[in-house]
Amino acid sequence: MELTLNEKKLLVVLGSIGTADTAVLAEKMDTRREAVVQYANLAGERGLVDVEKHVARRYVPTEEGRAYMGKGLPERQLLESFEETIPMRDLQSHPLAKIAIGWMRKKGWIAIRDGVVTKTGKTAPGPDEAAFARLAENGEIADGGGVADLAKRGLVEEEETVAYTVSITPRGRELLSQGLDLREEAGTLTREQILSGEWKSLPLRRYDVTKLPRRAYPGKVHPYQRIIDEMRRILFDMGFEEMSGGIVQSSFWNFDALFQPQDHPAREMQDTFFLGERRPLPAGYERVRDMHEHGGGTSSTGWGGTWSAEKAEQCVLRTHTTSLSIQHLAAHPKPPVRAFCIGRVYRREAIDPTHLAEFEQLEGIVMDEDVNLRHLLGFLKEFYAKMGFEKVRFRPGYFPYTEPSVEPEVYVDGLGWVELGGSGIFRQEVTEPFGIEHPVLAWGLGISRVAMLRLGLRDLRQLYRSDVEWVRDTPTYGGRR
Ligand SMILES: N[C@@H](Cc1ccccc1)C(=O)O
């Protein structure tokens, strides 16, 4: 049997005292209690010592509980603050009134009639007060009596202490009587010890290679952020540049520039978070106005009616990242443009496992001479394939700013076809006011959905919870399933 030096030292100490708890052993061995527990468990597996675990539960006061220490429970303090009767209004001005009046009534100590509070005479302390008095005396208290009531009120909380006693077994004694080699063990060898051959005669520390190490939790990137990073990588690899912009946008950029009519249902209060702030309209906004009112210089008839600059100035939390795409195009009206962004958007949704009021979109635009629908479908297919979704199909859709409009769907085993966003080619009504003369392919994909599918989640909210266990248990490897 190969004992570690520490086990041997433990046996030597126990040889003289037989039994001791780990606190005593730690002191005698000049080490920490956790170390003693570890040595004792090793020696215990070999049958040389017995390790006994004692769990002690006790209750200690919470912060609120400490505030009442020595003064008594709030209802007792309040009861003693007046003689036989008191007008309710006066009683209510006592600092403890909020908590204590309810308890006095519940305990039957007072009756309230016509705004006057009268003591009932039945005001003897119950088990909770007795427990509280004992707690005040000792600083802690065992379970039982009225302690449960105090715990329910949040005045005490449970504290658990674990202690171990270690005793030497007959086998341990026998081994000890045979004499133990107490020379220091070498845990690492020096170059000299190896070259000179001295290592052969050194007592070496043994390692148990069959033991699993304790799990380590180094810092790591959140699973959702890893997927987002992967998507950015893919788009950079496909030759896209990244656009950026604020989450607060004027209605002009979020809606009007995208030829969304001012009375469009998506612009209603129940769908969009409107802000009090306003932003001035950009130079040249008149072309957008004209497009809305009568189609500007194009063959479009526009939406008709009068376009309101005031409505367009009003700020919103962006409802889609398409508000960034159109600004990028306005700033870069000449081809080629290949740009993307991944950003949070906001909608007034009823929240459920698959709908949140905030979520992320991946937005992309491609403008070039002669790009067409086939290119758009190709880009989307390629992107999804790189994300690990092999089967992709497209259904016709509708957006006020694209024609044609397409809704991509991916096939997921067990779920079937899942819709993942919208896409299309920007209408002339969108591009013309900004002097854009070539077709623009555009898409906006809900990527929290993608992340949910990739991570096998049933509830979208998991992506946004501070759930450390889940973050720890989600592997970092294998982007793809
Ligand atoms: N903005 C659309 C998606 C989309 C983007 C670009 C073109 C067409 C559609 C949405 O939020 O659902």
pLDDT in tens, 444-461: 999 988 898 888 888 889
Residue range 12-39: mean pLDDT, rounded: 93
Class of domain 225-473: alpha beta
Nearest-atom index, ligand 1, CA of 320? 11
165 Cα: distance to centroid of ligand 1 (angstroms): 67
pLDDT score for 480: 42
Q: Which residues line ligand 1 (CB under 6 A)?
A: 320, 322, 399, 402, 421-424, 442-444
pLDDT, tens digit, 9 for 90 and up, residues 396-422: 999 999 999 999 999 988 888 988 899
Q: What percent of the chain has pLDDT over 70?
A: 99
96 Cα: distance to centroid of ligand 1 (angstroms): 57
Question: Is 479's pLDDT higher than 70?
Answer: no
Whether complex ipTM tops 0.95: yes
Nearest-atom index, ligand 1, CA of 365? 6
Question: Is 478's pLDDT higher than 60?
Answer: no
**Average pLDDT score, the chain:** 92
Distance (Å, whole) CA 227 – CA 454: 9
Residue range 49-61: mean pLDDT, rounded: 92
- With cut-offs at 50, 70 and 90, classify the pLDDT of residue 477: low
230 in Cβ contact with 263 (< 8 Å): no
Beta strand extents in 81-235 (DSSP E only): 85-87, 110-113, 116-119, 156-168
Higher pLDDT, 111 or 205: 111
pLDDT score for 18: 93
Tell the residue nearest (CA) to atom 11 of ligand 1: 320
Distance (Å, whole) CA 235 – CA 326: 19
112 Cα: distance to centroid of ligand 1 (angstroms): 64
Per the annotation, binding residues for Mg(2+) are 403
Residue range 254-278: mean pLDDT, rounded: 90
Distance (Å, whole) CA 169 – CA 166: 10
Among 320, 341, 377, the mutation site with the greatest number of ligand 1 atoms within 8 A of its Cβ is 320
444 Cα: distance to centroid of ligand 1 (angstroms): 4
Higher pLDDT, 268 or 382: 382
Segment among 70-79, 143-152, 200-209, 240-249 with least mean pLDDT: 200-209
| DSSP helix/strand/coil, 310 | helix
Per the annotation, binding residues are 322, 361-363, 401, 403, 426
9 Cα: distance to centroid of ligand 1 (angstroms): 72
Where along the chain do its domains lie? 70-123, 225-473
Tell the residue nearest (CA) to atom 6 of ligand 1: 443
Distance (Å, whole) CA 316 – CA 273: 6
Nearest-atom index, ligand 1, CA of 426? 7
Segment among 76-80, 84-88, 294-298, 477-481 with least mean pLDDT: 477-481
Question: Is 243's pLDDT higher than 50?
Answer: yes
Tell the residue nearest (CA) to atom 8 of ligand 1: 423
Distance (Å, whole) CA 386 – CA 235: 10
Q: Which residue has the tokens 């809900």?
A: 446
- With cut-offs at 50, 70 and 90, classify the pLDDT of residue 350: confident
List Cβ neighbours of 148 (8 Å cut-off, separation of 6 or more). none
Nearest-atom index, ligand 1, CA of 319? 11
CA 169 to chain centre: 49
Distance (Å, whole) CA 340 – CA 362: 7
Nearest-atom index, ligand 1, CA of 345? 11
pLDDT score for 481: 37
Q: What percent of the chain has pLDDT over 90?
A: 77
Per-position b or e across 57-69, b if 16+ CB within 10 A of its CB: ebbebeeebeebe
pLDDT, tens digit, 9 for 90 and up, residues 101-125: 999 999 999 999 999 999 999 999 9
Nearest-atom index, ligand 1, CA of 445? 3
320 Cα: distance to centroid of ligand 1 (angstroms): 7
376 in Cβ contact with 397 (< 8 Å): no
Among 267, 322, 441, the mutation site with the greatest number of ligand 1 atoms within 8 A of its Cβ is 322
Name the nearest CA neighbour of 395 among 371, 420, 367.
Answer: 420
Distance (Å, whole) CA 426 – CA 87: 74
422 Cα: distance to centroid of ligand 1 (angstroms): 5
Residue range 30-34: mean pLDDT, rounded: 93
Per the annotation, binding residues for L-phenylalanine are 322, 361-363, 401, 426
Residue range 455-471: mean pLDDT, rounded: 90
Name the nearest CA neighbour of 320 among 348, 345, 356, 355.
Answer: 345
Return the H-helix or E-strand segment holding 275.
Answer: strand 274-278
Nearest-atom index, ligand 1, CA of 325? 6
pLDDT score for 255: 96
| DSSP helix/strand/coil, 371 | coil
- Cα separation values, 80 from 104, 152, 217, Å: 11, 24, 55
362 Cα: distance to centroid of ligand 1 (angstroms): 10
Question: Is 358's pLDDT higher than 80?
Answer: yes
423 Cα: distance to centroid of ligand 1 (angstroms): 6
